[in-house]
Structure 1
Amino acid sequence: MRRGAVRGVVVAGSLVAVLAGAGPAGAWAGPEADVAYHGRVSLVKGRLTVWMVPRNEGPSALANATVRVRLSADLADVQEPAGGCVRAGVREVVCETGPLPEQGPGRHIGLVLGLREKPAEVAVRIDTGWNGGATDRNRANNELVVLALDTGDAYAF
C-alpha cells in the first residue's frame, strides 16, 4: 500500500472526529464499537515479529480502523512493512485493519520489523490510531503494552 493511502485514512479519521463531534450535552454522535487486539510478539537478534488479529466486540460494524504499533527501540532504516501498513516514525508503524464486522475478527496483520540495534528487550505498545469515528467505551482491550525479551519466545496479548 502506498504511504499516502494510510496517512489519508488517519487524516480522514481525525477529520471525521472533528466534523461529527459531540452531540447535545457532550453525547457522541457516531456509532459505537469495541475494537480489541489479540496476538503475540517475539524478538530475536534485532528482529521483532508482531502477529495480531483486530476484533470488534460491537455493537456496530466498522468499515476500517488503524492500529498503531510503537516500540521502545528504533526501527532499522530499511523496512518492508506488510500490505496496508506504513512506517510512521522512527519507532512507529501504522496498519489499517480493514472491515471489522460487528462481533467479529478483522484480517490478520503480520509484521516483521528490523531494529537498528539488537536490544535485550523491547516494549511494544499497541493501540488504535483511528477507529472510523466510532465511540469505544472499553479502551482497556485496545491499549496494550507487551515486553518482548530477546529469547525468541512468543509473548501473547
Structure 2
Amino acid sequence: MRVLGVCVAAVLAVGGAAPAAVAGDGSDGSGGGWFDPAPEADLAYHGAAAMASGQVDVRFTPRNHGPSAVPDATVRLRWSEPLANRQQLPDGCARSGARVVLCRVGALDADGLGEQIELRLRLRGEPSEVLVDIDTVWSGGVVDRNRANDRQRVLVLDTGDTYYF
C-alpha cells in the first residue's frame, strides 16, 4: 500500500485529485487487483490432415468452449518442412515465412463453432512425413488458460491416410 500512497501523493502534488475508486482496485470492497481481469475463453481446433506426393490437405474447425466470446482470433500453422513458394491460400490466410501460414479465425461466441478452415498446401519436394504445429497466436485480448486444446502437433505421413486431431 505504500506504493499506492506515493502514487496518490504524486497526483495530488501536480494539482490533480485522487480517484474515489478505480474498478478492480479493491476500494469497492471486492478485494480485486489493480486491473480488471481480461475475459476468459477456451479455444480449440479439431480437424484432419492428409498428405500425398508433397501436397498436404488440412481442415479444422475452431471452437470456443467459453465462458466469454472471442472478438477475433488468428491461428498459426507451422510446418517442419518448407512450403513451396507458390500457394493458393483461402481468404483470411497469409504466409508468414517459409514454414508458417496464419489464418484469421474471426469472432467466436461463447460455446460456439467457427467456420471450417481448409488449406491445400504444397511442400518443397516430397518429404515422407511432416509435422504441423497448430496454435492460437492472437485472441483479441481474451485469455485462454487451457492451452492444451488450442495447441496441436500432428505428424502426417505421405501415405494419403487421414490423421485426425
For normalisation by structure 1, the TM-score amounts to 0.82
Conserved? CA contact 1:71–1:92, under 8 Å: yes
The reply on whether 1:121 has 2:129 as its aligned counterpart is yes
Q: 2:158 aligns with which of 150, 153, 157?
A: 150
- Cα deviation digits, residues 12-34 of structure 1 (max 9, x gap): xxxxxxxxxxx875877321100
Q: Cα RMSD over matched residues?
A: 1.6
What residue is the counterpart of 1:111 in the other structure? 119
Query: Which has the greater radius of gyration?
Result: 2
Gaps of 5+ in 2: 1-24, 26-31
- TM-fit CA distance, 1:132: 1.0
Q: Decide which structure has greater helix share.
A: 1
Amino acid at match of 1:98: G
The reply on whether 1:56 has 2:76 as its aligned counterpart is no
Conserved? CA contact 2:77–2:132, under 8 Å: yes
Conserved? CA contact 1:70–1:91, under 8 Å: yes
Closer, same or farther: CA 27–145 of 1 in aligned 2, 3 Å: farther
- Poorly superposed stretches of 4+, deviation over 2 Å: 23-29
Amino acid at match of 1:90: A
Conserved? CA contact 2:71–2:139, under 8 Å: no
Q: 1:47 aligns with which of 30, 55, 72?
A: 55
Q: 1:97 aligns with which of 94, 97, 105?
A: 105
Q: 1:84 aligns with which of 50, 74, 92?
A: 92
The reply on whether 1:35 has 2:36 as its aligned counterpart is no
- Cα deviation digits, residues 48-106 of structure 1 (max 9, x gap): 11100000000011121000000000000101111100011100000000111110100
Identity of aligned residues (%): 50
- Give the number of aligned pairs: 135
Conserved? CA contact 1:28–1:135, under 8 Å: no
Equivalents in 2 of 1:62, 1:85: separation in Å?
A: 19
For normalisation by structure 2, the TM-score amounts to 0.78
